[in-house]
Amino acid sequence: MIQLEQLKKYVLTSHDLNEPFNYFFDLMERNLLMTVPGHQLVNAAEQRVELMAVVNGVKRQLVERFSMQVKKMMPILYEIPSDDFYHGTCMVDDSPFPMALIYFADVQTGIYAVTIKQKTEMVRFAVAGMSGQ
């Protein structure tokens, strides 16, 4: 999907992480992602090892980088397998709002946005660069 290739480019190269998030939410608003063949909810019982590594790596970053008290995260993730693309939210017990997550498995890179003390923090991450991995 051409739009996801553009989103991947933004995720990988944007200096301002508002750019990929704005592009992503524009795709969602125009219903371009939800209608892609194969777009589906990832069953929590079947979440892949790599996805759980991403969620656990982000959890470690929230603790180490932002001193959040994170005991658990509850991800709700969707996938578009043909593009190795995942997106969704995670409830974080130390934030009043869900964290937004965008991840491309083929390049093992993504971004997340989380609200901490009434400020939204956006972070690009690479699975290989997460501490503890």
Tokens for 88, please give them. Answer: 């969704």
pLDDT of residue 132: 46
What DSSP state is assigned to residue 127? G
Q: Alpha helices of 14-132 — where are they, by DSSP H?
A: 18-29, 49-66
So what's the pLDDT on residue 94?
A: 77
pLDDT (mean) for 66-78: 87
For position 106, what pLDDT does the model report?
Answer: 94
Q: Is 126 helix (H, G, I), strand (E, B) or coil?
A: strand
Q: Residue 97: its pLDDT value, please?
A: 87
| Cα–Cα distance for residue pair 68/55, rounded to 1 Å | 15
Q: Which residues pair with 76 in a beta bridge?
A: 89
Between the ranges 6-10, 51-55, 68-72, 74-78, where is the mean pLDDT highest? 6-10
> What is the reported pLDDT for 44?
62
Which residue would you say has higher pLDDT here, 133 or 95? 95
Order of strands, sheet of 119-126, starting from the edge strand that comes earlier in the sequence: 40-41, 73-80, 85-92, 99-104, 109-116, 119-126
pLDDT band at 36 (very low <50, low <70, confident <90, very high): confident
Rounded CA-CA distance 77/42 in Å is 6
- Per-residue pLDDT of 74-115, as tens digits, reads 888 999 999 999 999 998 887 888 999 999 999 999 999 999
Q: Provide the whole-model pTM.
A: 0.88
Q: What is the pLDDT of residue 133?
A: 40
